[in-house]
């Protein structure tokens, strides 16, 4: 296992590029199972989770290969295996993305039921309710979800759950409905940019998805979907992570190839904290501010403040002037980073789904343990701004979702080494 050793206190300046969005690329690749012809997906980041999805797709009968420029070509050549095993799903929850494409195209799928993970229990009941409403027969066998159907039939589906809309649940229903007979109306759909990206991808295969990006999506089913050319959007969470890095340690750090409009909630919070931010069409330039003001944050579905940036913003608030609160409304238990940040001198107290943060003058380096992808990114940010040396252990979490993060940050002035744990 590798660890990252971070020499803190360095300023970040210059240009840092953003990769394609992991959380778009995963369902987009899975949607290639719906197409009859060859799909060409561009701007796919080279990440452990993407390799894992490509491995799964190849087990499911696709010829799938990644070129050096982030282009993935995919063509299904054998539809005989429709099983995503526990071994696949436990390594990557997003394996659930193949369920709907397999069902819609092959009329049968067997996908191991995802369990909980470090950020919470994470049920898939809304995915299954959506598929059932389209006519799927669903059973649970030996820990596997088994779904069968004749051709699916369009329906009206309400996707709201106890924590709001569901991103991958909405994507599941769009994929299934795209090959169903007739019209599907999804109410309370997730509005995340990744849903819009997936809808655009299906439309480029010849599908008819309208309204993506709003809570009401319609899908007019078609008989078949054909070849596809699609470029994945820039990763808004990687962008946001670099924005927070800039707010902590930036000296005109310029984030390039991003979509500032996808980060309104984060930019608004940092603006209120007094940080200096300049946005261009595809760039965000940011410099740190001494003693920024504390701000309160609540995570919400898009366009609210993203849960995937909660841990990173907490590092910023840990060294802001005054008290702040962070309330987690999407994954109420997603606070595994709190004790690790406290090991570095932060003053954070958790009460239920809220963390109360008393800003301190400085963080100090320490060995810390990554618990999940975004918590790991937060610990890297903490290491950059801390005095002394921070070691982030279990760095495989970060490799799942950040492409070459150490190289990218080192190129703008950070000092991060990779070593064997
Ligand atoms: N939920 C249900 N039932 C369901 C599905 C979800 O109750 O059937 C609940 C969840 O437990 C949660 C809320 O609904 O409380 C929202 O979860 P959602 O379904 O939107 O999450 P997801 O689609 O499984 C994606 C991202 C996550 C990100 C969330 C929220 C991917 C591969 N994952 O998960 O990303 O946190 O949306 O924005 O797209 C990450 O990248 O680190 C990550 C965890």
Residues 251 and 142 in one domain: no
pLDDT digits (tens, 9 = 90+) for 246-277: 999 999 999 999 999 999 999 999 999 999 99
The mean pLDDT of the chain is 97
Query: What pLDDT does residue 122 have?
Result: 87
Among 201, 231, 261, give the residue marking a domain's end.
231
Rounded to an integer, what distance in angstroms lies between the CA atom of residue 269 and that of residue 264? Answer: 9
Query: What pLDDT does residue 406 have?
Result: 97
Task: Please give the tally of structural domains in the chain.
Answer: 2
Q: Does residue 201 carry a catalytic annotation?
A: no
Residues 187 and 281 in one domain: no
Maximum pairwise Cα distance, the chain: 63
Would you say the CB of residue 236 lies under 6 angstroms from ligand 1?
Answer: no
The separation between CA 171 and the C-alpha centre of its own chain, rounded to angstroms, equals: 13
Nearest atom in ligand 1 to 120's CA: 11
Among 167, 199, 231, give the residue marking a domain's end.
231
Query: What pLDDT does residue 224 have?
Result: 98
Residues 194 and 300 in one domain: no
Query: What pLDDT does residue 281 have?
Result: 98
Residues 159 and 211 in one domain: yes
- Identify the CA nearest to 19 among candidates 42, 39, 3: 42
Rounded to an integer, what distance in angstroms lies between the CA atom of residue 272 and that of residue 148? Answer: 51
Mutation probe of ligand 1 site: the residue of 56, 97, 161 with most atoms within 8 A of C-beta = 161
Would you say the CB of residue 126 lies under 6 angstroms from ligand 1?
Answer: yes
Residues 245 and 258 in one domain: yes
Does pTM top 0.85 for this prediction? yes
Query: What pLDDT does residue 254 have?
Result: 98
Residues 298 and 358 in one domain: yes
Residues 37 and 131 in one domain: yes
Range of the domain at 95: 22-231
Among 210, 231, 252, give the residue marking a domain's end.
231
* CATH classification of the domain holding 139: 3.65.10.10
Residue tagged 């690749």 (tokens)? 29
CA distances from 131 to 160, 161, 197 (A): 14, 15, 21
Would you say the CB of residue 94 lies under 6 angstroms from ligand 1?
Answer: yes
Residue nearest to atom 43 of ligand 1 (CA): 308
Residues 125 and 194 in one domain: yes
Between the CA of 94 and the centroid of ligand 1 the distance, in Å, is: 10
Residues 127 and 215 in one domain: yes
All residue ranges of the chain with pLDDT < 50 are: none
Residues 220 and 285 in one domain: no
Residues 62 and 96 in one domain: yes
Residues 361 and 325 in one domain: yes
Residue of 97, 117, 228, 258 marked active site? 117
Query: What pLDDT does residue 193 have?
Result: 98
């Amino acid at each position: 296992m590798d660890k990252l050793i971070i020499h803190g206190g360095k300023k970040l300046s210059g240009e840092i590029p953003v990769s394609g969005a992991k959380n778009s690329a995963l369902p987009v690749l899975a949607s290639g199972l719906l197409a009859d012809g060859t799909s060409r997906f561009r701007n796919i980041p080279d990440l452990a989770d993407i390799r894992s999805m490509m491995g799964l797709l190849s087990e499911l009968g696709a010829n799938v290969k990644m070129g050096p420029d982030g282009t993935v070509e995919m063509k299904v050549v054998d539809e005989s295996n429709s099983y995503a095993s526990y071994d696949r799903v436990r390594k990557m929850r997003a394996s659930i993305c193949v369920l709907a494409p397999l069902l819609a195209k092959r009329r049968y799928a067997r996908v191991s039921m995802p369990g909980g993970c470090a950020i919470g229990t994470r049920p898939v009941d809304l995915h299954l309710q959506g598929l059932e409403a389209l006519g799927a027969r669903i059973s649970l066998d030996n820990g596997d979800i088994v779904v069968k159907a004749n051709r699916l039939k369009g329906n009206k589906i309400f996707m709201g759950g106890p924590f709001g809309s569901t991103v991958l649940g909405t994507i599941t229903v769009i994929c299934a409905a795209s090959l169903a007979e007739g019209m599907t109306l999804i109410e309370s759909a997730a509005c995340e940019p990744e849903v819009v990206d997936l809808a655009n991808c299906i439309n480029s295969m010849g599908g008819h998805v309208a309204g993506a990006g709003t809570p009401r999506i319609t899908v007019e089913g078609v008989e078949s979907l054909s070849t596809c050319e699609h470029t994945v959007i820039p990763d808004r969470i990687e962008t946001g992570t670099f924005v927070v890095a800039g707010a902590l340690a930036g000296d005109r750090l310029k984030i390039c190839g991003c979509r500032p409009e996808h980060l309104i909630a984060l930019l608004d919070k940092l603006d209120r904290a007094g940080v200096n931010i300049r946005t261009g069409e595809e760039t965000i330039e940011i410099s740190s501010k001494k003693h920024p003001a504390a701000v309160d944050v609540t995570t919400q579905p898009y366009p609210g403040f993203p849960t995937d940036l909660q841990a990173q913003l907490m590092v910023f608030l840990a060294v802001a002037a005054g008290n702040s609160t962070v309330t987690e409304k999407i994954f109420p238990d997603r606070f595994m980073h709190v004790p690790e940040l406290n090991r570095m001198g932060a003053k954070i107290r958790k009460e239920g789904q809220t963390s109360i943060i008393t800003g301190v003058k400085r963080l100090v380096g320490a060995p810390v343990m990554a618990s999940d992808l975004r918590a790991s990114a937060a610990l890297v940010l903490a290491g950059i701004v801390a005095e002394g040396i921070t070691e982030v252990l279990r760095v495989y979490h970060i490799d799942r979702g950040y492409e070459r993060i150490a190289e990218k940050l080192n190129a703008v002035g950070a000092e991060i080494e990779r070593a064997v744990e």
